Each structure stands twice: as C-alpha cells, then as structure tokens.
C-alpha cells in the first residue's frame, strides 16, 4: 500500500517575502531530502483540490473567509507575522482541500497513512483570526470533515509543534468527537496551552495540554506519549489520527529551545503508527506546520516518512519508557487522570 503525500511546487508560491522564516524554500529543502531518500518510491502524490466554502465554514466564521478571500491578487500583512501575497488565498485553499482529500484516501484504504507537505501552516488560525503564519486551520478543517461528512465520532489530533496550536484548541474546545493532545514549549508564543485548559461542556477532558520547559528533548516528549497519549488512546479507541507535524521543536531550530532530533520525531511517529495499527490501521495523516531550519526540516520529514512506512526506533522508545517521568509530564498526567484512566 503506498504512503500518500500532498506535495507540489505551487505551495512555494505563498510568498512571505525575503526576511520571513516561513518561506517556500522550506518545501524545497524537504523535496531535496526526499529525492535523496532511497525509499521514496513508496510515496504516491495525490492531486490538489481547493477547499470549498462549506468545508471551511465548519471551522471558520464567514467573516474570516471573507477577509482572507479579500487578499486575492494583492499583498497584505494581516498582522506583523502573518503575510499574504497575491496567490496566498488560492494556495491556502489548496492546502486545506488537499489535506481533506488525503484523509479520505486514507479512510478508504487507497493509501496507508499520509503526509500533506503544504503551506501556509494552520494550527494557530482560530475561528475568526489568521495569526502565527496561518490563514486557514488545515488540520481542523480535516477533522471537521471526518466527523460531519464521514460520520466519525472519535478523531484524535496530536500536535507536536513547539508552539501550542491555540486555533485548533479554540475550534474544538467544546467538541466531544475530537480529542486534542499537544506537547509544546512553555513559555512561548502564543502563550496558550496551559495544563488546566481541559475543554468545556461536552468537550471537557478532550483537550490535553503538556507544556514542557525549554531544553526538553526526545525522552521527555516520548514520556508524554507513553504516560498520557497512549493510555488515553486505549480508552478513546480513535477512528482516525491527525497530526499537526511541526518540526520547530528540533534541536537545530531557531524559533524554539527544544532538543528533539530526527530520530525523536521518527519515534513519536512510530508510537502513533502502533496506536493506529490497533484502532485505525493506515489512518495516521499529518499536515506540515512549523520547522524553520531548512536542512533539519528535510531530515526530520524524511525520518517521519520512514516511520510511517514501517521503520522503527525501538531502542529510543524503550529508553524513554524506562526514564524518570519529567515533572511537567507528571502534572499533565494528574490533570488528564481526572477524565481518563491512565496506567
């Protein structure tokens, strides 16, 4: 079964200017790393398709759609960090719509897992606001499609970007059919993602934040997966796993202060693949978020693709399982334990 990807040079044409860190050359670096990977023949590129207004209205207010659409054909700064060029609206629609189609392909068994190598990223975009380099919330649009159009009731979103996905949390904070799990550096932009933010109403307990201190690396992130995410998944029995795959927690990234390396990202992926094998085989689909050291980004993405295709990092996972529990993970585990049975 091929590994599905969304991968096209058009996503480089969202032009943020010469001094921005979220640039098209990020995807060029990923393409170069993939071309040097001996296992690239397992990849099947899916055609691109723009998201519809109906698909985006499930997660964004009409006023937000109108504002982003108004940038078509011209350059505009939506805030000091979030920039639109003449083609940005068009390309943002392709990012969201193509991710949705990749999820459908995984759900139907046409591909075994998938990775949408798209930009602009999405997890900071809220119902009403573009921010943090993000125009539309790609991962949220995909999750909403899965629950409203495909009838799923247990969608798990995992976000390992160094920055908390405040937009995704905001959109699904009261939604019981989506469980959001985030590891992120704290303190750091956007300042959200506290342990006590657990969801509201019917979604209480479905929002799981693991804020980590600067300097945490492979072992600490894997500890959060081992002690919190895995037992939650055992109770949840997810029907689909979506991943906001940011690589700015990499030890070489300029925007964060975390210490994950490529093997660490591969090990995190292996955990998710094993959970998928038990509950939703072939249904781990990732969307690119951050990652701003281009060489490190390329290496890490290929490591994740390898893991999606079955490579293993058992030694690192065993090391993390036997390590002392970090204090931040213990605090998050205690909070999660109020809503889930954790071993």
Q: Which two tokens stand for residue 247?
A: 């690589």
pLDDT digits over 264-273, tens only?
999 999 999 9
Does the pLDDT at position 343 exceed 90? no
**pLDDT for res 74:** 95
**pLDDT for res 204:** 98
pTM for the predicted model, two decimal places: 0.98
pLDDT class of 132 with cuts at 50, 70, 90: very high
The DSSP bridge pattern shows strands 240-245 and 114-116 to be: unpaired
Tell me the CA end-to-end span of the chain in Å, nearest whole number.
Answer: 34
**Mean pLDDT to the nearest integer, 70-86:** 96
Q: What angle do CA 59, 64, 66 make, to 5 degrees?
A: 125
**pLDDT for res 88:** 98
Every domain of the chain and the residues it spans: 3-336
Q: Which two tokens stand for residue 120?
A: 């602009």
Whether 208 contacts 342, CB under 8 Å: no
Strand partners, 243: 158, 286
Q: Return d(Cα 158, Cα 5) in angstroms, integer.
A: 18
**pLDDT for res 68:** 98
Calculate the CA dihedral of residues 274, 257, 182, 145 and round it to 10 degrees.
-90
Give me the chain's average pLDDT, please: 98
Among 161, 145, 159, residue whose Cα is nearest residue 169: 159
**pLDDT for res 28:** 98
Whether 285 contacts 240, CB under 8 Å: yes
Q: Return d(Cα 176, Cα 104) in angstroms, integer.
A: 21
Q: Return d(Cα 72, Cα 64) in angstroms, integer.
A: 14
Whether 266 contacts 274, CB under 8 Å: no
Q: Return d(Cα 136, Cα 117) in angstroms, integer.
A: 15
**Mean pLDDT to the nearest integer, 130-141:** 98
Does the pLDDT at position 62 exceed 90? yes
* High-pLDDT (> 90) share of the chain, %: 99
**pLDDT for res 207:** 98
* Long-range own/partner contacts, residues 83-86 (CB < 8 A, 24 or more apart): 83/16, 83/17, 83/20, 84/135, 85/13, 85/14, 85/15, 85/16, 86/15
pLDDT digits over 216-259, tens only?
999 999 999 999 999 999 999 999 999 999 999 999 999 999 99
User: Could you list the active site residues?
Assistant: 124
**Mean pLDDT to the nearest integer, 7-22:** 97
Q: Return d(Cα 126, Cα 196) in angstroms, integer.
A: 20
In the CATH scheme, what is the homologous superfamily, with its name and number, of domain 3-336?
Answer: Histone deacetylase domain (3.40.800.20)
**pLDDT for res 27:** 98
pLDDT digits over 96-125, tens only?
999 999 999 999 999 999 999 999 999 999
**Mean pLDDT to the nearest integer, 28-53:** 98
**pLDDT for res 330:** 97
**Mean pLDDT to the nearest integer, 151-170:** 98
Calculate the CA dihedral of residues 302, 12, 164, 265 and round it to 10 degrees.
0
**Mean pLDDT to the nearest integer, 76-85:** 96
pLDDT class of 93 with cuts at 50, 70, 90: very high
Q: Which two tokens stand for residue 328?
A: 């931040």
């Amino acid at each position: 079964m091929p590994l599905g990807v969304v991968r096209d040079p058009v996503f480089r044409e969202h032009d943020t200017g010469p001094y921005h860190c979220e640039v098209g050359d990020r995807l060029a670096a990923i393409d170069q790393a993939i071309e040097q990977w001996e296992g690239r023949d397992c990849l099947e590129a899916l055609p691109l398709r723009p998201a519809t207004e109906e698909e985006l209205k499930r997660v964004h207010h009409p006023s937000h759609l109108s504002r982003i659409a108004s940038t078509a054909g011209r350059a505009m700064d939506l805030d000091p960090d979030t920039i639109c060029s003449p083609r940005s609206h068009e390309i943002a629609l392709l990012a969201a719509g193509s991710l949705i189609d990749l999820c459908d392909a995984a759900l139907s068994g046409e591909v075994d897992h998938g990775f949408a190598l798209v930009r602009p990223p999405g997890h900071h975009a809220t119902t009403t606001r573009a921010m943090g380099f993000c125009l539309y919330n790609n991962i949220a649009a995909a999750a909403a499609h899965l629950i409203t159009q495909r009838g799923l009731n247990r969608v798990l979103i995992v976000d390992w970007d160094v920055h908390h996905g405040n937009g995704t949390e905001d959109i699904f904070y009261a939604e019981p059919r989506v469980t959001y799990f985030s590891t992120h550096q704290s303190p750091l932009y956007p300042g959200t993602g506290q342990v006590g933010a657990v969801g509201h109403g019917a979604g209480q307990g479905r929002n799981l934040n693991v804020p980590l201190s600067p300097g945490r690396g492979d072992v600490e992130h894997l500890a959060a997966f081992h002690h919190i995410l895995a037992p939650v998944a055992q109770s949840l029995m997810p029907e689909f796993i979506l991943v906001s795959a940011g690589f700015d927690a990499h030890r070489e990234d300029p925007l964060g202060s975390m210490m994950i390396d490529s093997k660490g990202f591969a090990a995190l992926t292996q955990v998710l693949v094993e959970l998928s094998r038990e509950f939703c085989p072939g249904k781990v689909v990732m969307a690119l978020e951050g990652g701003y050291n281009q060489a490190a980004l390329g290496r890490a993405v290929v490591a994740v693709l390898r893991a999606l295709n079955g490579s293993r990092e058992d030694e690192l996972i065993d090391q993390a399982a036997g390590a002392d529990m970090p204090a931040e993970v213990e605090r998050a585990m205690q909070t999660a334990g109020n809503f889930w049975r954790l071993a």
